[in-house]
Structure 1
């Protein structure tokens, strides 16, 4: 087999391995999904920060495959409801799980 064909096969094999390495599984995000979740988390944090009635520094946001989890401590049930509604309003959010607790 000529050297050129061997190099082409090696290059194709490496590209296939890299593309499969970036794919997601049911328990692990792919590279693209991780970036998407980071963007969603940032958008949700920004939206919460812009909401004047919420103390955004006490609300934590985590995202996995578009599913957002809010945690932390807030002053009232109204704050919990408002934070959930704000998070649901962000594009890319599939669902919102509430793990916030009242002070």
Structure 2
């Protein structure tokens, strides 16, 4: 039996299977000592190490996902805000300095102050007349 084990050890001496073969306990209870290099290689190829590396790679890949809104949406919202402000400025009898305009995804919010309820309605109508405006929220307060 020992002769057979010695011949198996010689056969695997130059292969990578050698380190795995030596790392498992034998039936006779004699487990040969491994060098530091062989132990390090066994640790790098262990299933736990490989699985941990794969999980880490997936976490790194998921962490690099960009969650900011696309630039085209931000640009269209800022363009929409600018267009509504210029429309308010062109309306006679409106003071656009007292009216704040915010736009997000086609929804326009008017806030601030209007001199009268009539002026507030003019501001809402001017905002609705702009292409791309889906909804106008009127949060204007009458002075």
- Normalized against structure 1, the TM-score is what? 0.72
- SS, match of residue 132 in structure 2: coil
**Runs of 4+ that moved beyond 4 A:** none
**Which structure carries more relative contact order (alpha carbon 8 Å, separation 6+)?**
1
Q: 1:68·1:93 contact (CA, 8 Å) conserved in 2?
A: yes
* Residue equivalent to 1:97: 137
* Residue equivalent to 1:59: 99
Distance in 1 between residues matched to 2:138 and 2:85, nearest whole Å: 15
* Residue 70 of structure 2 is aligned to residue 30 of structure 1: yes
* Residue equivalent to 1:42: 82
Q: CA deviation at 1:67?
A: 0.2
For structure 2, list consecutive stretches of 5 or more residues without a partner in the other structure. Answer: 1-63
- Specify the structure having the higher radius of gyration (Cα): 2
Q: CA deviation at 1:53?
A: 1.1
- SS, match of residue 100 in structure 1: strand
For structure 1, list consecutive stretches of 5 or more residues without a partner in the other structure. Answer: 1-16
